[in-house]
Amino acid sequence: MSPNSSALSLCGISKHYRRGLLARRVEVLGGLDLELAPGARLGLVGPNGAGKSTCLRIAAGVEPASSGSVAVFGRPPRELEPRRRTGFLPDGAPFPGELTARACLELCAGIQGLRGAGARGTCGRMLERVGLASVRGRLASFSQGMLRRFALAQAFVCEPDLLLLDEPTAGLDAEGHVVLEELLAEAHARGTALVLCSHHLDEVLAWTDEISVLAGGTLHARAELEIDSGAARLEIEGLDEPAFAELEQWIAGRGGRITARSPTTRALLSVYAELGEGER
């Protein structure tokens, strides 16, 4: 791998399937170009059927592109070396239901090259983090939320250099949301590159540095998110009702007005998480 190679490079990627009795051609991606530098965080948004999941599966080497070239850290994703450095969270819950969470996580980690007593410890800690350490049943008996937590564990357990996450919060409860946020923060601190597909724009805004909009199989826009340091916009957390009324009055007195007011997601999540702790 050359030192300057991208974490992920998609060049002119197209993908089509054959459907139905007459093998009708259905184009999912058409000439998609995408570059992701090591450590960069990209959010991929778009309507249903835009090709986000297909794009991630191609990047992960799960399925080949119909045309175009894909490189993960400068190598084709079908090679083993880039795969060792990639963590993929697929859509849905396709994991083998015959296994327990621990057995399946150790299997996933083992395939990625994490073996032995150290691997068992790492897997145990990861299961602890996602709240599945004490769950004994097989994956087939897991709820959707538990499966999503497991999906998080298998994607992050080997501390990959590239994370490809497809709707990571789908079916995830608030506590799991917090865990995901922590895992993403740690991965970012390690310099892990991230592609995050989601329908939830607030998640993408919170966890990525740039956003691409995918629709009809091509990228329509890509924008870097910048924190506006001017005085035009202000976000404030933690005010109670009387304090808020006072602030609103103060702003109105100076010719301004409050255009939007909503409980912060973070604050809600904290309350939810505390409630969950209390129940246990």
Partner 1 sequence: MSSVLRVERGLLLLALRRMFPLPVVAATLLVAAGFALAHPASVSAPIRRETTWTALALVALPLALHAAASLGRRWRLGDRAWLGSRAVSRGTVALSAWLGTWIGAIALFGGIALLAEVGREDGGARRRLRALESPRAALVEPGARTAWSAGELGDGEGLLLHLALGTAPGSGPTATIRATCTRGAESSTAEALVFGRSSIEVEVPRGHGEVRIEVAKPGPGCTVVLAPGALSLHVAEDRAGLASFELFLRWVLFVGAWTALAMGIGAWMRASVATALALAAALPVLGAGRGAAWLPGADLATALAEAGDGLIPPHAPVIALFGFAVLALSGIALAARGLDAGAGDAA
Binding site for partner 1 (CB under 8 A): 17-18, 57, 60-64, 66, 77-81, 83-84, 86, 88, 90-92, 94-96, 98-99, 106-108, 110-113, 154, 164
| CB closer to partner 1, 43 vs 61 | 61
The residue whose two tokens read 């000439």 is 31
Q: 210 forms bridges with which residues in the sheet?
A: 42, 224
> Rounded to 5 degrees, what are φ and ψ at 97?
-70, -15
Reference 78, options 64, 95, 99, 92; nearest CA is: 64
Reference 31, options 195, 215, 218; nearest CA is: 218
Closest CB 104 distance from partner 1, rounded Å: 9
| CB closer to partner 1, 120 vs 222 | 120
Closest CB 152 distance from partner 1, rounded Å: 13
Closest CB 92 distance from partner 1, rounded Å: 7
Closest CB 62 distance from partner 1, rounded Å: 4
- Please check whether residue 14 is in contact with residue 29, taking contact to mean a CB–CB distance below 8 angstroms: yes
| CB closer to partner 1, 154 vs 212 | 154
Closest CB 72 distance from partner 1, rounded Å: 10
| CB closer to partner 1, 150 vs 207 | 150
Reference 74, options 2, 176, 25, 156; nearest CA is: 2
| CB closer to partner 1, 54 vs 198 | 54
Q: 16 forms bridges with which residues in the sheet?
A: 27
- DSSP, collapsed to helix, strand or coil, labels residue 127 as helix
